[in-house]
């Protein structure tokens, strides 16, 4: 049959289990923080905290049980001490009574000895009487002595004396027997009283010794219970401390986990924001790249258009050269364009000379913006020069030599002056961007 565990042993096991749990938790925390990236420690589980609290409750119940047992043990010790005190009093009374009985027994023995001496004296007297009778010749001689008297009176006196002697003899014999009986009875009574009192005293002494032993055992048991109770209280305090420590560790670890969760959420939000910013930057770069590609395509298209325009200009130049050589002076003929309905009234062409004419300057600015992006000194090498793209023959034919050999070498005001001269003769027909007027 398995042995029943004591409360203190059970409490010790609970403390050991709690200590192991704390050691595991400390080891887990140390391992978690050993890495290069700190992570929050694993908190004690709710089951571990509940187990620690249950251990505290169990230990408290055991302390209460031990308190009850200790109270009962102390009550038993008090009762046994009272019993021991009563037994001690009984033992003392038995000793006193034994002393009284011993005194009475000594008195009885003294009386018995006196009776025995009287019996011995009676026996001696009887023996002497018997010896005297034997020496006198027995009872016949006595009768002769009685009847040998001098007369009847003398015979009567002698007979009365003989009767008195017989009565004395019988008394002596009775006293001797009574003394022997009394002596024997007193001796027996004294012996019996001694035996009874000795037994009573021994019993009282044994009872007192047993009571003292029981009281000592009860006191030792109470002391053991008190020691066990103190140990259990100490263990209860340790369990309570363990429970509080586990709860504190759990709360601290949960707080650390919450902080880590918030930090991780912030990190993820920052990562999402960074990814969105990177995506936006990538989108902008892609858009810029697309714009650059479109610009490159536009540049290529413009180059191709410029090429084609240069080729057309070369063809036009050759035609103009042929016409010039035939005595005809013309200006560049871009694609025909009808004069704008809002075109200003054509001024009268000024005479050739160095005078400046800024009539219709706003109109020429708009046309220049279309022809050369407003660059009055442009020279792309395509045979057309300046903001309004004069060829050399048209420029010189309208008196441009008054200002410069080519239009790009003249100022905006000088180019507008020559344009007004051509405009007075031919309108906006020579300019392909005349519609911008």
Residues ≥6 apart with Cβ < 8 Å to 375: 368, 387
Q: Are residues 241 and 333 in the same domain?
A: no
Q: Are residues 319 and 255 in the same domain?
A: no
For residue 289, being part of any structural domain is answered with no
Residue 381: pLDDT over 70? yes
For residue 357, being part of any structural domain is answered with yes
- For residue 401, the 8-state DSSP code is G
Q: Give residue 399's pLDDT band: very low, low, confident or very high (50, 70, 90).
A: very high
Q: Give residue 15's pLDDT band: very low, low, confident or very high (50, 70, 90).
A: low
Q: How far is CA 58 from the centre of its chain?
A: 19
Q: Are residues 215 and 332 in the same domain?
A: no
**CB contact at 8 A, 58 and 14:** yes
**pLDDT for res 20:** 46
Q: Which two tokens stand for residue 383?
A: 């045979």
Average pLDDT, the chain: 73
Give the phi and the psi of residue 385 in degrees, each rounded to 5: -135, 150
For residue 292, being part of any structural domain is answered with no
Residue 62: pLDDT over 80? yes
For residue 40, being part of any structural domain is answered with yes
* Secondary structure class of 385 (helix, strand, coil): strand
Q: Are residues 184 and 331 in the same domain?
A: no
Q: Are residues 256 and 381 in the same domain?
A: no
Q: Are residues 50 and 160 in the same domain?
A: yes
Q: Are residues 357 and 258 in the same domain?
A: no
Q: Are residues 202 and 142 in the same domain?
A: yes
Nearest CA-CA partner of 360 in 437, 298, 273: 437
Q: Which two tokens stand for residue 344?
A: 């200003």
**pLDDT for res 236:** 72
The count of structural domains within the chain is 2
Q: Domain range spanning residue 34? A: 7-265
From residue 169, give the alpha-carbon distance in Å to each of 103, 118, 130, 190, 351: 36, 15, 9, 31, 224
Q: Are residues 195 and 342 in the same domain?
A: no
Share of the chain above pLDDT 70, in %: 59
CATH assignment at residue 385 = 1.10.530.10
Lowest mean pLDDT among 204-218, 325-339, 351-365: 325-339
For residue 288, being part of any structural domain is answered with no
Q: Give residue 234's pLDDT band: very low, low, confident or very high (50, 70, 90).
A: confident
For residue 303, being part of any structural domain is answered with no
Q: What is the pLDDT of residues 113-171, one digit of tens each?
A: 886 788 677 678 757 766 775 666 554 445 555 556 567 777 677 767 667 766 776 78
Q: Are residues 76 and 225 in the same domain?
A: yes
For residue 304, being part of any structural domain is answered with no
- For residue 390, the 8-state DSSP code is B
Of 134-148, 280-294, 389-403, the range with the highest mean pLDDT is 389-403
Q: Are residues 74 and 202 in the same domain?
A: yes
Among the three residues 230, 265, 300, which one is the final residue of a domain in this structure?
265
More confident site: 299 or 203: 203
Residue 35: pLDDT over 80? no
Among the three residues 232, 265, 298, which one is the final residue of a domain in this structure?
265
More confident site: 30 or 77: 77
Share of the chain above pLDDT 90, in %: 20
Q: Are residues 133 and 194 in the same domain?
A: yes
The CA distance from 33 to 25, in Å, is: 12
Residue 66: pLDDT over 70? yes
Q: What is the pLDDT of residues 185-206, one digit of tens each?
A: 747 866 785 778 777 667 767 7
How many CB atoms sit inside 10 A of residue 304's CB? 10
Q: What angle in degrees, to the nearest 10, is found between the helix axes of 46-135 and 152-325?
A: 170
Among the three residues 250, 265, 280, which one is the final residue of a domain in this structure?
265
The CA distance from 45 to 209, in Å, is: 59
For residue 426, being part of any structural domain is answered with yes
Q: What is the pLDDT of residues 210-223, one digit of tens each?
A: 768 887 887 887 78
Phi-psi region of 360 (alpha: psi -120 to 50; beta: other; left: phi over 0): left
């Amino acid at each position: 049959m398995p042995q029943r565990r004591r409360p203190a042993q059970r409490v010790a096991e609970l403390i050991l289990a709690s200590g192991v749990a704390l050691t595991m938790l400390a080891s887990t925390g140390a391992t978690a923080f050993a890495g290069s990236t700190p992570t929050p420690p694993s908190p004690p589980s709710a089951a571990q905290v509940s187990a620690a609290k249950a251990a505290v409750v169990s230990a408290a119940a055991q302390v209460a049980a031990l308190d009850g047992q200790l109270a009962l043990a102390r009550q038993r010790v008090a009762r046994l001490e009272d019993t021991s005190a009563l037994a001690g009093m009984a033992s003392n009374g038995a000793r006193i009574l034994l002393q009284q009985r011993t005194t009475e027994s000594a008195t009885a023995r003294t009386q018995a000895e006196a009776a025995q001496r009287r019996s011995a004296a009676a026996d001696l007297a009887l023996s002497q009487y018997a010896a005297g009778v034997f020496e006198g010749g027995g009872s016949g001689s006595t009768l002769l002595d009685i009847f040998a008297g001098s007369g009847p009176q003398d015979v009567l006196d002698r007979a009365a004396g003989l009767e008195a002697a017989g009565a004395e003899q019988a008394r002596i014999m009775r006293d001797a027997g009574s003394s022997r009986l009394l002596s024997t009875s007193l001796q027996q009574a004294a012996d019996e009283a001694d035996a009874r009192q000795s037994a009573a005293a021994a019993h009282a002494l044994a009872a007192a010794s047993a009571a003292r032993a029981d009281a000592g055992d009860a006191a030792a048991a109470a002391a053991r219970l008190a020691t066990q109770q103190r140990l259990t209280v100490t263990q209860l305090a340790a369990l309570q401390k363990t429970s509080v420590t586990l709860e504190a560790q759990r709360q601290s670890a949960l707080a650390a986990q919450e902080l880590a969760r918030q930090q991780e959420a912030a990190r993820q939000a920052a990562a999402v924001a960074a990814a969105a910013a990177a995506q936006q930057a990538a989108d902008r770069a892609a858009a810029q790249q697309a714009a650059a590609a479109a610009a490159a395509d536009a540049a290529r298209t413009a180059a191709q258009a410029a090429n084609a325009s240069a080729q057309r200009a070369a063809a036009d130049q050759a035609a103009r050269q042929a016409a010039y050589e035939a005595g005809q002076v013309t200006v560049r003929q871009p694609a025909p364009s009808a004069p704008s309905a809002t075109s200003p009234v054509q001024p009268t062409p000024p005479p050739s000379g160095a005078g400046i004419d800024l009539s219709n300057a706003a109109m020429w600015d708009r046309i220049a913006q279309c022809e050369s992006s407003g660059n009055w000194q442009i020279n792309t090498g395509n045979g057309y020069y300046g903001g309004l793209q004069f060829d050399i023959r048209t420029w010189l034919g309208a008196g441009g030599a008054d200002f410069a050999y080519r239009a790009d070498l003249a100022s905006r005001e000088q180019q507008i002056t020559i344009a007004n001269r051509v405009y007075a003769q031919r309108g906006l027909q020579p300019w392909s961007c005349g519609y911008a007027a």
